[in-house]
Amino acid sequence: MINLDAILILVGCFVAMLLLRFPISITLAGSALVTIMYLDVPWVVVGQRMIQGMNSYSLLTIPFFILAGQIMSAGGMALRIVNFAQLFVGMVRGGLALVSCVACMFFGNISGSAVADVSSIGSVLIPAMKKKKYDADYAVAVTTSASIQGVVVPPSHNLVLYSIAAGGVSISSLFLAGIVPGILLLVTLMAVSYIIARKRGYEKGDPIQWKDVPKIIRDGVLSLLVGVIILGGILSGWFTATESGALACVYAFILTFFVYRDIPLSQMGLIFKRTFRTVAMVLFLIAASDAFGWMLAYLKIPTLVTDLFLNISDSPFVILLLINILLLLLGFPMDMAPMIMIMTPILLPVVTSIGVDPVHFGIMMILNCGIGLITPPVGTVLFVGCAIGKVSINQATKASIPFFLAMCVVLLLLTYIPQISLWLPGLFHGTP
């Protein structure tokens, strides 16, 4: 039997605590606790579910990926990636904008984080674009939009979060599934950047001296090997995702401190501190989400949502369109990680009931949530880009509209052409 009063209490507490600006982890755990009190279920259930939520070997992957990204970000890796990207597209009209797109793709393959992308690449390229007379709002818009590639391409820790929220979907399949959509997103954003750059008459990039090319290639390849270690180890079967992450940390440590020597070894303590802070927030969020998710399942909310969508239409085309609209709208007030942890257990039963592969839906979900990172009022990536470029949120939001629409087009292609996501997993694994 459906307990509507308990559902209203759960949803009401969640919305009220969000409006009161409680941290999202406290909001999730607190909403579950209040609802459990109403249902007269022992309070200890919340604690048990939170502990069980963190009792997963797959979770070890996240700290390693975050640590590897932090080590690489702390050094001069961003500038090396930018120089490497400039070899390919730097001499085209509006070349710095295209370099931003390619560099964010490369750096996303190292950090797996959109915020790390825009912080590292943006701090190099946004001032450089402004110096070359690019409009500041355009420089911010293209860099923040391009950084969303970091949440789709491996080794995105958001894909790991989805795997956990979805009940153990293969991480290697998700990593493979993100490659082609990431390339499609890159090509689309580059096309939009180029069209705008030509229309506004932006300059070409500075020529690169031939004597510098070998060093630029060497540094770029060495930097990108982090992603090769992670993907290669997983796909070859030599390592699990967790073991690949650990090896990537060792490689990043050696490259940063003993090959490039960009920063002193004494900085490692600060890197560990930033990593521990990030990991603690992520793990607490996962624990709180598990308690909230258990409450959703206990109240049969996923079943209600599935029935609601199926009552609206039995067409997969319509249902997927409605889900995309719902996720895009939720992306405005919600941050990415909680959105993944909350909405995956609710929507996954809906899409599986109409025959959508969980891996395919995972890429849809991640891109949807990623688009939310550049939309106010909770667009974390947008805020970081505006701080670097010294432009207002309104200016950057208006300048981002063409890129937002382009990403929505890519999202629709991914939604209705499943093989864009599933081709590589099927090629390597037989079935995704």
DSSP, residue by residue, 248-293:
HHHHHHHIIIIII--S-GGGHHHHHHHHHHHHHHHHHHHHHHHHHH
Could you tell me the pTM of the whole model?
A: 0.83
83-92, 210-219, 355-364: segment of lowest average pLDDT: 83-92
Q: For residue 87, what are its two tokens?
A: 């070899």
> What's the token pair of residue 130?
């402004």
Q: Residue 411 pLDDT more than 90?
A: yes
How high is the pLDDT of residue 114? Answer: 79
Q: Identify the pLDDT of residue 432.
A: 47
Rounded CA gap, 144 and 92, in Å? 20
Percent of the chain with pLDDT over 90: 21
Distance between CA atoms of residues 230 and 248, nearest Å: 7
Encoded amino acid at 173, one letter = S
Q: Which run of H or of E encompasses 157?
A: helix 157-165
Q: What does each C-alpha distance from 23 to 16, 113, 288, 297, 335 come to in angstroms?
A: 12, 21, 11, 23, 11
Residues of the chain by 3-state class (helix, strand, coil), percent to 5 = 80, 0, 20
What gap in Å lies between CA 152 and CA 82, rounded to an integer? 20
In SS3 terms, 319-368 reads as: HHHHHHHHHHHHCCCCCHHHHHHHHHHHHHHHHHHCCCCHHHHHHHHHHH
The pLDDT of residue 421 is 93
pLDDT above 70: residue 1:
no
pLDDT, mean over the chain: 85
In the chain, where the domains are located: 4-429
Query: For 81-90, 179-188, 325-334, 410-419, which range has the lowest pLDDT when averaged over its residues?
Result: 81-90
Q: What is the DSSP string of 18-61?
A: HHTT--HHHHHHHHHHHHHHHHT--THHHHHHHHHHH--GGGGH
Return the higher-pLDDT residue of 212 and 345.
Answer: 345
- Pair 27, 17: CB distance under 8 Å: yes
Q: Which pLDDT belongs to residue 78?
A: 74
Nearest CA to 120 out of 132, 103, 137 is that of 103
- pLDDT tens digits for 145-160? 999 988 898 878 889 8
pLDDT score of 278:
82
CA distance 42 to 56: 24
Answer for the pair 34, 296: CB distance below 8 angstroms, yes or no: no
Higher-scoring residue by pLDDT: 404, 429: 404
- pLDDT of 112 higher than 80: no
Structure tokens at 137: 């709002």
What DSSP character marks residue 134?
A: -
Predicted pLDDT of residue 430: 61
Question: At a CB cut-off of 8 Å and minimum separation 6, what does 21 contact?
Answer: none
- Residue 324 CA: distances (Å) to CA of 112, 164, 331, 358, 380: 23, 21, 10, 15, 20
pLDDT-based confidence at residue 422 (cuts at 50, 70, 90) = very high
Helices vs. strands in the chain: H and E counts, helices first? 22, 0
Q: What is the pLDDT of residue 29?
A: 86
